[in-house]
């Protein structure tokens, strides 16, 4: 959505002061650990754009807390799986041979939005080393959040998501729904829904050299996440409000991850029973 379209559609101007006030109303506080998923255009016209939002977040949480954002680079993957954009099959080998290796210092995020992309460049922001599923973090536990992000199963037990769980952190959905809620993949990983392991490929550095490397992962699927989120909200408190014009949710991560794992286990059993009958 262009800036002109945002102005015409939302008809609201959002300053840093307004943004900070809205964060406090939603329940964000100094010292929190929070992972942020965001859509800038949903907020209305923000004076200062993503800079304003990041500054307001940092001033609200302060360096006594920790802000985490996804920094995924899903374009650094095997082109045979690409759907948007589709590329001709006769390009695949060239892409595999020439895709630049992931470098946490300079590789841009892909499809994460303007807020997450700018956040990774901020002074004091650290980034995990996974070449496809990295995260960025700032604040008290930033180093802990991004350290030793395992190559295999990047949303599993050796990931920033599991460390947010350990710290009993929060999730901020800012203008996005549960479909964008990466923490639910940790619940997915802990469920019994998936047993098949896949070999994934991307460009990475090994022993100082660029390689087309491999790692193991399960097939992630967020199609049920909005359904799970609605069911979760019937049983658990979720703070809701507006940040500018954007609908927002503040959610405790740990109960949502646990709920997701149970939901998917029960869903798998129900489907198996239907198939048997």
Please indicate, yes or no, if residue 204 is contained in any of the structural domains: no
Residue 89 inside a domain? The answer is no
CB atoms near residue 209 (< 10 Å): 8
pLDDT of residue 273: 56
Residue 105: what pLDDT? 95
pLDDT at residue 221, rounded to an integer: 85
Q: What DSSP character marks residue 159?
A: S
Domain count, the chain: 1
User: For residue 194, is it within any domain?
Assistant: no
Q: Is residue 260 reached through a cis peptide bond, with omega within 30 degrees of 0 on the bond before it?
A: no
Domain annotation covers residue 34? yes
From CA 190, how far away is CA 156, in angstroms rounded? 8
For all residues of the chain together, what is the average pLDDT? 93
Q: What is the pLDDT of residue 18?
A: 97
Question: Does 97 reside within a domain?
Answer: no
Helix H, strand E, coil C: the string for 35-95 is EEEECHHHHCEECCHHHHHHHHHHHHHCCCCEEEEECCCCCCCCHHHCCCCCCCHHHHHHH
pLDDT of residue 54 exceeding 90, the answer is yes
Whether 175 contacts 157, CB under 8 Å = no
Q: Tell me whether residue 250 is in a domain.
A: yes
Domain around 41? 3-75+104-183+221-276
* pLDDT higher than threshold 90 for residue 84: no
Residue 80, domain member (yes or no): no
pLDDT of residue 267: 81
Q: Would 208 be classed as within a structural domain?
A: no
pLDDT band at 262 (very low <50, low <70, confident <90, very high): very high
The residue ranking higher by pLDDT, 53 or 5, is 53
pLDDT digits (tens, 9 = 90+) for 191-242: 986 667 889 999 999 999 999 999 999 888 899 999 999 999 999 999 999 9
Q: How confident is the model at residue 255 (pLDDT cuts 50, 70, 90)?
A: very high
């Amino acid at each position: 959505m262009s800036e002109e379209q945002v102005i015409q559609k939302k008809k609201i101007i959002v300053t840093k002061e307004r943004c900070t006030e809205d964060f406090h109303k939603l329940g964000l506080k100094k010292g929190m650990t929070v992972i942020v998923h965001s859509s800038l255009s949903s907020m209305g016209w923000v004076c200062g754009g993503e800079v304003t939002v990041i500054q307001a977040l940092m001033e609200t949480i302060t360096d006594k807390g920790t802000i985490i954002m996804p920094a995924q680079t899903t374009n650094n993957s095997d082109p045979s799986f690409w759907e948007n954009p589709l590329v001709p099959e006769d390009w695949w080998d060239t892409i595999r041979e020439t895709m630049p290796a992931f470098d946490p210092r300079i590789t841009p995020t892909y499809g994460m939005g303007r807020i997450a992309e700018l956040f990774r460049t901020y002074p004091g922001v650290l980034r995990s080393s996974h070449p496809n599923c990295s995260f960025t973090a700032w604040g008290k536990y930033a180093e802990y959040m991004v350290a030793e992000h395992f190559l295999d199963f990047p949303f599993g037990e050796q990931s920033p998501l599991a460390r947010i769980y350990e710290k009993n952190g929060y999730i901020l959905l800012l203008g996005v729904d549960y479909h964008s809620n990466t923490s639910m993949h940790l619940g997915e990983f802990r469920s019994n829904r998936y047993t098949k392991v896949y070999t994934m490929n991307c460009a990475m550095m090994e022993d100082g050299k660029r390689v087309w490397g491999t790692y193991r992962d399960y097939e992630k699927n967020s199609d049920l996440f909005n359904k799970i989120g609605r069911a979760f909200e019937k049983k658990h408190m979720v703070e809701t409000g507006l940040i500018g014009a954007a609908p927002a949710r503040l959610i405790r991560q740990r109960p949502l991850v646990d709920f997701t794992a149970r939901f998917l286990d029960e869903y798998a059993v129900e489907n198996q029973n239907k198939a048997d009958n």
